[in-house]
Structure 1
Amino acid sequence: MSETASWGSTWIADSNGDQGGEIVLTFDDNRIASALYGSHDQNLAFLERRLGISATPRGNLLAIRGPREACEQASSVLRKLHDRIRKGGNVALGDVDGAIRLTAAQGSLFPTAPTAAEPAGIFAQLSTRKKSVSARTPAQDAYIRAFGRHELVFGVGPAGTGKTYLAVVHAAQLLERGEVDRIILSRPAVEAGERLGFLPGDMREKVDPYLRPLYDALHDVMPPERVERGLQNGIIEVAPLAFMRGRTLAHAAVILDEAQNATSMQMKMFLTRLGEGSRMVVTGDPSQVDLPNGMTSGLAEAVRLLDGVEGVSICRFTDVDVVRHELVARIVRAYEAAPRADVRE
């Protein structure tokens, strides 16, 4: 038993009186519906797996069946994604996951039709000319909002939580808006348990292997030709952490990645480079320190010392904020649950 409505605003329970039932959504544009469903209905399959519902497309109709709370959440997720497509955006599996997390953050039951008092989404967003990126978890939302409120932001947590990527998007946004004159990318030149030895080439070529994740993020949110032009004319600068001493970084968006591998002295030196009109983001995973035994991570010390200092925001991520792949979150939890051991022994 079901009722067809523009956004399934009426819940029709099964006649046997259990908690199951059905909502049928109607789409005016089949092209938008097709984009919403994804290639081979992969977005619907992901939604079914995550929420424990069944989603059956019938042309411009979509029947959502299952427990009431899950069906209401699925309806809310699809409405948000539909609005995004209608405004010219794209929807990938990561966007479906983000919409699920967003609706979960808003509450257990959700209205199935938008109202004037209810915006299409509450999570913060970063935008460049090439791409718009919305937060996918409450922690990412707090992180993005901290960018606009604090000169120095720490993003601390496990791999795959978007710490570095969002910092790069923020920097690109500031540059395009003219709020800063340049982007400076830095990272400790510490190998993850390996020794690469002598690296040939100029300075950029020597540090490329260490800064590749930052380059990848820049190319994702800025046109490749602008990234290359920026690297050539100094608007985008690659600066190994060891070479930052003595500089004053004014009117710049500064990112220190993999900061858990900075020593205490290096971290203090880097943080005190902050100049007028600059914004600084420091990211790292305290559980992946590659410093020699006996050396204190500068990131851990800085987070402890600067917590509560005016102008500084410390944003902490956990395994529930992993957005890279579902399996990554499970890997992080497995390692955190295992007894602590020094794998370098």
Structure 2
Amino acid sequence: MSPRENARSDASQSSVRSSRSRIDVPPDLVMGLLGSADENLRALEQLLAADIHARGNAITLSGEPGDVVLAERAIAELIEIVGSGQKLTPEAVRHSVAILTGMKDGSADESPAEVLTLDILSRRGKTIRPKTLNQKRYVDAIDAHTIVFGIGPAGTGKTYLAMAKAVSALQSKQVNRIILTRPAVEAGESLGFLPGTLSEKIDPYLRPLYDALHDMMDPELIPKLMSAGVIEVAPLAYMRGRTLNDAFIILDEAQNTTAEQMKMFLTRLGFGAKIVVTGDITQVDLPGGAASGLRAAMRILDGVGDIHFAELTSADV
């Protein structure tokens, strides 16, 4: 075969392999889709193999057929997200493509728009939503089960999302109070031996929970609710001997509980109450090499009805 014939054959094969597509974006959604200085478009170009060109309200795609199909689906999902009124960011673009990739390999069963438009709590124009599929599954599990364990590394949103669900449940009168607790490992839970008032003793251990509360509620309202006992933030040791009814109870940093403490905490559950336990089993700080109560709970309670274990990973950060 001559070089000319070879070139013609290569061009023919290339045309068979390549595909083109055009998407017309509703004019009022173009700016939100592309982002400031086209930052969302640039994120898409980095994440997808297809060539993407935007002109006016038309987006043209070209490349391998499978790559073009994935790009079409990604852009359609992003248009739906923008159309819902949500501000699109490069981070949301990355999460959307990750979810679509998961759908392609069978590990995901929900679309990016279903995940990223789920509103948990809104305050002063800020809405808290899951950002990844695992986060949405975690939030859905909190709705569906009485006891949920959120297990994963720091920064995966396990405590923040649980607190948003707690505040939402309080506001909708599903519960009468919120109880937030952590083990004070550094003090060995023996706070009586520390100098200062009770609040001075426990404040360093509980400050992250206060900070999250301030993101979700009017700061001037929080002291009033705490004085009325509607919101309680306390070390785990103060849960002993109580039965907690009609409450949304969150145990944070649960990897630093002993098996005895975990059993004590879980048996505080009363009528109409919900428990969320969060922790990172790779960050156990118990003294003397004591076994983690979170690990014990995972071993003993896995498969028990109305108890769910939600796993989050570094991909959910």
Per the normalisation by structure 2, the TM-score is 0.81
Work out whether residues 146 and 313 of structure 1, in 8 Å CA contact, stay in contact via their aligned partners in 2.
Answer: yes
Identify if the C-alpha distance between structure 1 residues 41 and 263 changes in structure 2 by more than 3 Å, giving closer, same or farther.
same
2:244 counterpart of 1:249? yes
Work out whether residues 99 and 111 of structure 2, in 8 Å CA contact, stay in contact via their aligned partners in 1.
Answer: no
Identify if the C-alpha distance between structure 1 residues 252 and 57 changes in structure 2 by more than 3 Å, giving closer, same or farther.
same
What is the CA-CA distance between 1:119 and the residue it aligns to? 8.0
CA distance in 1, matches of 2:282, 2:166: 26
Alignment of structure 1 residues 258-337 onto 2, 5 Å: 258-319=253-314, 322-324=315-317
3-state SS, counterpart of residue 185 of structure 2 = coil
CA distance in 2, matches of 1:20, 1:202: 72
Task: Write the deviation string for residues 36-78 of structure 1: whole angstroms up to 9, x where unpaired.
Answer: 2222222222222222344333222223344333332233233
Structure 2 unaligned regions, length at least 5: 1-11, 188-192
Identify if the C-alpha distance between structure 1 residues 309 and 65 changes in structure 2 by more than 3 Å, giving closer, same or farther.
same
Work out whether residues 147 and 153 of structure 1, in 8 Å CA contact, stay in contact via their aligned partners in 2.
Answer: yes
Task: Write the deviation string for residues 258-308 of structure 1: whole angstroms up to 9, x where unpaired.
Answer: 100111111111111111111000011100111123201110011111112
CA distance in 1, matches of 2:242, 2:77: 46
Identify if the C-alpha distance between structure 1 residues 60 and 86 changes in structure 2 by more than 3 Å, giving closer, same or farther.
same
CA distance in 2, matches of 1:108, 1:294: 40
Work out whether residues 25 and 79 of structure 2, in 8 Å CA contact, stay in contact via their aligned partners in 1.
Answer: no
2:45 counterpart of 1:48? yes
CA distance in 1, matches of 2:23, 2:163: 38
Range 51-60 or range 220-229, more displaced: 220-229
CA distance in 1, matches of 2:64, 2:199: 56
Q: Which amino acid aligns with 2:283?
A: Q
Task: Write the deviation string for residues 138-180 of structure 1: whole angstroms up to 9, x where unpaired.
Answer: x333322211221100111222322212211211221121100
Question: Partner residue of 1:7?
Answer: none
Alignment of structure 1 residues 140-179 onto 2, 5 Å: 140-179=135-174
2:235 counterpart of 1:237? no
Q: Which amino acid aligns with 1:318?
A: T
Question: Partner residue of 2:21?
Answer: 23
2:86 counterpart of 1:93? no
Aligned length: 294
Question: Partner residue of 1:83?
Answer: 80
CA distance in 2, matches of 1:76, 1:219: 38
3-state SS, counterpart of residue 107 of structure 1 = helix
Identify if the C-alpha distance between structure 1 residues 52 and 234 changes in structure 2 by more than 3 Å, giving closer, same or farther.
farther
CA distance in 1, matches of 2:216, 2:86: 14
Alignment of structure 1 residues 99-114 onto 2, 5 Å: 99-107=96-104
CA distance in 2, matches of 1:36, 1:200: 56
CA radius of gyration, larger in: 2
3-state SS, counterpart of residue 25 of structure 1 = strand
Give the % identical residues.
Answer: 43
CA distance in 2, matches of 1:57, 1:224: 44
Q: Which amino acid aligns with 1:127?
A: I
Alignment of structure 1 residues 55-70 onto 2, 5 Å: 55-70=52-67
Per the normalisation by structure 1, the TM-score is 0.75
Alignment of structure 1 residues 182-201 onto 2, 5 Å: 182-191=177-186
Work out whether residues 128 and 176 of structure 1, in 8 Å CA contact, stay in contact via their aligned partners in 2.
Answer: no
